[in-house]
Amino acid sequence: MQPQNYILKLLLSLGLGYMRWTQLTPMLLIWGFGLLMLLALTFVNHQEQTFSALEYFLEWTTQLPVVGEHITPLLSDESTATNMTTSDFKSLVLSAWAVLSLAFMLAGFILSSLLGPFQPWTLKRKILIAGAGVVLLLAGMAANYYAAPQNFNGEASAWMLNFSLISLLVFVVSAYCLSVAHFLAYLNEALMAGELNRPDDSVAIQ
C-alpha cells in the first residue's frame, strides 16, 4: 500500500503544481501586455521596426501547438470571411491558457533540475517585488510620454490616468495570482511532507 500511496501523492502533487501555474500564467501574460505597451511607447517613433517585430511575433504564434491552429485562419487572407463565435474565442483562450501553463510548469521542472530547488519566498516579499515592478512600469510609461509629448493626442492628465489604471490592473492581477499560487504551493509542500495524511497525529501525541 505504501508505494500506491506515494504514487497517489505524487499525482496529486503534480496536479497542484499544474493548478499553481494556471494561476501564475495570467499574471505573466498581463505583465507581457504591460511590457509590450511600454515597448510600443518606447519605439513610437520607429514604426517600421515595431511592425517587423509584430510580424515576427505573430508568425511565431502560428507555430505554437493547438494555439496556432486557431490563430492561423485569423491571419490568413480569408480572415475577413472568418467569423469567430463566442465559443471559438473561449476555446482559443482556454487552449492557450492550458498549453502555456503546462509549458511554464515543464520549464520550472527543467530549471529546478539544472539549478537545484528554488528557495521559496514569502508572499509579502513576492507582492512587494510585484509592487516595485509596477512602479517601474508606471514610471517608464510616464517617462516615454514626457520624452515626446507631441506624439500623443490628448491631455497629459488623461494619459497619466490611463497609465495608472493599467499599472493598477497589473498589480491587482499579480497580487491575486501570487496569493492563490502561494496557497497551492503550501498545500503541495504539506502534501509531500505527509502533513495532510496524518490528521490524528496531534491527538495521538496528546
In a domain, 6, yes or no: no
Domain range for 41 is: 11-195
Residue bearing cell 510600443? 40
Number of domains in the chain: 1
Which pLDDT score is estimated for 204? 38
Average pLDDT over residues 199-204: 42
Average pLDDT over residues 124-142: 94
Give the number of other Cβ atoms within 10 Å of residue 141's Cβ: 22
In a domain, 205, yes or no: no
Which pLDDT score is estimated for 80? 46
Digit-coded pLDDT (tens) for 134-192: 999 999 999 988 887 887 788 889 989 999 999 999 999 999 999 998 888 888 777 77
- DSSP per residue, 2-71: HHHHHHHHHHHHHHHHHHHHHHHHHHHHHHHHHHHHHHHHHTTT-HHHHHHHHHHHHHHHTTSTTHHHHH
Of 52-61, 95-104, 107-116, 193-202, give the lowest mean pLDDT range: 193-202
pLDDT band for position 125 (50/70/90)? very high
Digit-coded pLDDT (tens) for 48-84: 556 676 677 767 766 666 566 666 665 565 444 445 5
In a domain, 110, yes or no: yes
Within a 13 Å sphere around the CA of 18, how many CA atoms are in the beta-carbon half? 12
Report the share of the chain in percent with pLDDT over 90: 20
In this model, does residue 9 exceed pLDDT 80?
no
DSSP letter (8 states) at residue 78: G
Nearest CA-CA partner of 97 in 66, 71, 126, 60: 66
In a domain, 202, yes or no: no
Residue 170, class by beta-carbon neighbours within 10 Å (0-12 exposed, 13-18 middle, 19+ buried)? buried
Average pLDDT, the chain: 76
In this model, does residue 128 exceed pLDDT 90?
yes
In this model, does residue 205 exceed pLDDT 50?
no
In a domain, 70, yes or no: yes
In a domain, 2, yes or no: no
Which pLDDT score is estimated for 19? 86
In a domain, 3, yes or no: no
In a domain, 206, yes or no: no
